[in-house]
Structure 1
Amino acid sequence: MDLSKRVRLSVMMFLLFFTWGAWYGQMSKYLFTQLNATGDQVGNAYTAFSLAMLVAPFFIGLIADRYFAAQKVLGVLSLAGAAILFFLTQTDNPDDFFWLILVYCLTFAPSMSLTNSIALQHIDNPERDFPGIRVLGTVAWIVVTNIVGYLNVGDKVTIFQIAMGSALALGLFAFTLPDTPPKSSSSASIGQILGLDALKLFKDRSFAIFFLSSVLICIPLSFYYAMANPALTDSGMTNVENKMSLGQASEFFFMLLLPLAYARLGVKKMLIVGLIAWIMRFFLFGYGDAGAGEWMFYIAILLHGVCYDFFFVTGQIYTDSRAGERIRSSAQGLITIATYGIGLGIGSKISGLIADFYTVNGVKDWTSIWLVPAGIAAVVLVVFMLMFTDKKQTKSLEHEPVAGPL
């Protein structure tokens, strides 16, 4: 793989996740402080991303993969997204904001698959080369959240202006990427896009329990995405965005430890450790404070690497091992739609309603709010421990996923 192509693909990943990281974790604080949104309206805004994730596979599989070069589709979507973000920065109505962020997410969600597709089609050895390209996304997330933190604009419209600028840059840059023509001869059917070929895996009770656990644990995950920033800000913590970026650094670190942990513990224990970490972090968020208890917040943030890698990445490996070669793509597609589409969508809505329920005279009872996702994670842990059985040792980490930004 020549250096020029590698650099262009790496810049592509950096710009994509720079755009996402600029607004995603800070959107709730912006809505609460600048638009005086209710918890339900904040939850709806995050639900928009999940709705877009449900639509994105159809767009990629039925349109982008069949008729247009991927880099051109990425360019058009990014430019359209930048235009939508401009209109979003002009509104001060939280209900109008929902529709604008929904339309924007419909342009952004397909871009996540497109960038992976473009990169993978232009590298000689995916196992060797893709991690070094994809990791620029994690780096970008850390960089942009620290920029937001140091500028102290996490609750300002500036977060969307930053995203608009980087989306514009990605849209223009996309047309310089290596040509990636449509894959018309190998386009997926609707059933494959939905992952219906993988439904046979539910004959295995353990896989069914894992699948259900994956969907349910996305409910607590959505509490973290939507509520962590405003909760820490309300506690009196300063430079929240900078400190929350430690979560992505932790994710990258634990990804490096994952092969060793996987070999020592096996899939069931790995997933259990991930679930226990979820419970611990929500208790720490609930009972920490910005004074003598600020150390609890730091531990909760740093646990993000264990929570994400030990459950979601291990789960991807487990799914891959159970599916086998023929239905591997369908199985991963089914898990993605169920978690990022359905699970996160339900969780986003619930998190907003819970935030409203525990708000009195404009003051949120964050301890009570955090105990809800802790309780959900605890139920998932008990059911998983009792009903999941790792019937066989899963395969090695030859195709180990790369650390994500979340």
Structure 2
Amino acid sequence: MNIKARLILMNFLEFFVWGSWLISLGSYMIVTLGFNGAEVGAVYATMGIASLFMPALLGIVADRWINAEKVLGACHIIGAILLFWASTVKDYQTFYFIMLLNSMAFMPTIALNNTVSYIVLEKKGYDIVKDFPPIRVWGTIGFIAAMWMVDIFGWTKSPLQLYVSAGAGLVLGIYSFTMAKCPPLAVAAKKGFASMLGLDAFVLFKRKKMAIFFVFAMLLGAALQITNAFGGAFLDDFKTSYADSFGVKHPNLLLSISQISETLFILTIPFFLRRFGIKNVMLLSIFAWVFRFGLFAIGDPGNGLYLLILSMIIYGMAFDFFNISGSLFVEKEADIKIRASAQGLFMLMTNGIGAYIGGTISGLVVDYFTVDGVRNWQHIWLAFAGYALILGLIFPLVFRYKHTTDARMEVRH
């Protein structure tokens, strides 16, 4: 199997593990376990808590002491064991604790997956900006495949979704150990205290452009968790008015249009980055979030189904244009000696602080607009759309960036 095919399989499994439960776990917790909105938001916020330190910490480990592919494999095996355990638990406190531990194991693997891919491609002489997106798109395909499997077999409100994820995680953990070696770079014998701890990645904050970029990446990361946590519950609440609709019967299949859209937009990233630069690409992402939430507010699984489908399509741009493009931007801006740490830092800002804010506040917003167990989804989604709109108005005013059409130069200005 050639190296691109091996990386495709690795990316496929990486996001299959996540897609098995990320979109449907909210419905499982609300409908089957009886958790409230704040509790569901708190469980999703565990990904943010873990990402505050685990991606950066294990990025340091991969940069300095242990091969990145080995760290990746170990994390997936540990995560698989924890998900098997979570599938047997029904009380909130224990479930929360296990999912927190699982987040600590899984969240670093997203950045590590990117790091391993970048290192292997670079060793083989490939252009990362050109060749990584077509490989990464298979991660999204894996995410979709997992969603479809869980939906078609009727496991969206069942703990079996956790078994599917755990099984895939175990396979990926073993497979990761067979990947091409990604050893730590040799570093000089004399290192400062900050360098020893891997804190040298934070040197990127000294550059105003990068500091502002990371802040907005964090704020966009908050938006990401909202529909992950409550998209399924939103559709499930139409079960009385649109009981026979496709969206209510197969919520994961409808929501998976978002990930299908991702696969298309990922392939456009090299063109958009080279043609328009990171500032305009990020701005497109922000306003895509406005439409994502706004269309949810006015759509329904009946006559308004087309509005929900449009929202799913727009999600591809909203997610990819800050998540994948942002990762590539950071890869080019960071020194080669701190690239794993830099990817961990990007994860900290988006899936760490951002996800924690998004998971926590979204749960409170949902409960605020819930009266006697009835959730006012239109007000909920409009509140989130307003949040994204404010970001879109501020971002172009504060992020100073000079774009050049040269692929290598554009991200170093």
User: TM-score, structure 1 length as denominator?
Assistant: 0.86
CA distance 1:328–1:72, change in 2 (3 Å) = closer
Alignment-derived partner of residue 393 in structure 1? 403
For residue 294 of structure 2, give the secondary structure of its aligned residue in structure 1: helix
Alignment-derived partner of residue 242 in structure 2? none
1:239 positional shift: 1.3
Alignment-derived partner of residue 117 in structure 1? 115
CA contact (8 A) 1:50 1:344 kept: yes
Task: Tell me the percent identity.
Answer: 32
CA contact (8 A) 1:65 1:184 kept: no
307-316 vs 221-230, greater mean Cα deviation: 307-316
Q: Which residue identity lines up with residue 213 of structure 1 in the other structure?
A: F
For residue 99 of structure 1, give the secondary structure of its aligned residue in structure 2: helix
The CA distance in 2 between the partners of 1:170 and 1:44, in whole Å, is 27
The CA distance in 2 between the partners of 1:380 and 1:244, in whole Å, is 25
1:71-86 to 2 correspondence within 5 Å? 71-86=69-84
CA distance 1:212–1:78, change in 2 (3 Å) = closer
The CA distance in 1 between the partners of 2:409 and 2:24, in whole Å, is 33
For residue 303 of structure 1, give the secondary structure of its aligned residue in structure 2: helix
The CA distance in 2 between the partners of 1:81 and 1:309, in whole Å, is 25
For residue 20 of structure 2, give the secondary structure of its aligned residue in structure 1: helix
Alignment-derived partner of residue 303 in structure 1? 314
CA deviations 1:149-200 (Å, max 9, x no partner) are 2112111111101011111222333343334444454799366547321122
Alignment-derived partner of residue 244 in structure 2? none
For residue 245 of structure 1, give the secondary structure of its aligned residue in structure 2: helix
CA contact (8 A) 1:71 1:175 kept: yes
Alignment-derived partner of residue 136 in structure 1? 138
The CA distance in 2 between the partners of 1:129 and 1:97, in whole Å, is 40
Alignment-derived partner of residue 22 in structure 2? 24
CA contact (8 A) 1:56 1:110 kept: yes
Q: Please state if 1:217 is matched with 2:220.
A: yes
The CA distance in 1 between the partners of 2:345 and 2:62, in whole Å, is 19
Alignment-derived partner of residue 232 in structure 2? 229
56-65 vs 159-168, greater mean Cα deviation: 56-65
Alignment-derived partner of residue 292 in structure 2? 281
For residue 53 of structure 2, give the secondary structure of its aligned residue in structure 1: helix
83-92 vs 132-141, greater mean Cα deviation: 132-141
CA contact (8 A) 2:13 2:142 kept: yes
Q: How many residues align?
A: 394
User: TM-score, structure 2 length as denominator?
Assistant: 0.84
In the alignment, which of 281, 304, 322 is matched to residue 270 of structure 1?
A: 281
CA distance 1:122–1:283, change in 2 (3 Å) = closer
CA distance 1:388–1:73, change in 2 (3 Å) = closer
Alignment-derived partner of residue 404 in structure 1? none
CA contact (8 A) 1:317 1:400 kept: no
Q: Gapped runs of 5+ residues in structure 1?
A: 402-406
CA distance 1:65–1:37, change in 2 (3 Å) = same
Q: Which residue identity lines up with residue 169 of structure 1 in the other structure?
A: V
Alignment-derived partner of residue 180 in structure 2? 178
Alignment-derived partner of residue 9 in structure 1? 7
The CA distance in 1 between the partners of 2:274 and 2:226, in whole Å, is 31
Q: Gapped runs of 5+ residues in structure 2?
A: 240-246
1:210 positional shift: 4.0
For residue 336 of structure 1, give the secondary structure of its aligned residue in structure 2: helix
CA distance 1:335–1:247, change in 2 (3 Å) = same
1:273 positional shift: 2.7
For residue 253 of structure 2, give the secondary structure of its aligned residue in structure 1: helix
CA distance 1:143–1:385, change in 2 (3 Å) = same
The CA distance in 1 between the partners of 2:8 and 2:352, in whole Å, is 27
The CA distance in 2 between the partners of 1:74 and 1:221, in whole Å, is 24
1:2-401 to 2 correspondence within 5 Å? 3-123=1-121, 124-127=124-127, 129-183=131-185, 185=187, 189=195, 192-193=198-199, 195-202=201-208, 208-236=211-239, 237=247, 238-262=249-273, 265-316=276-327, 323=333, 329=339, 333-390=344-401, 392-394=402-404, 396-397=406-407
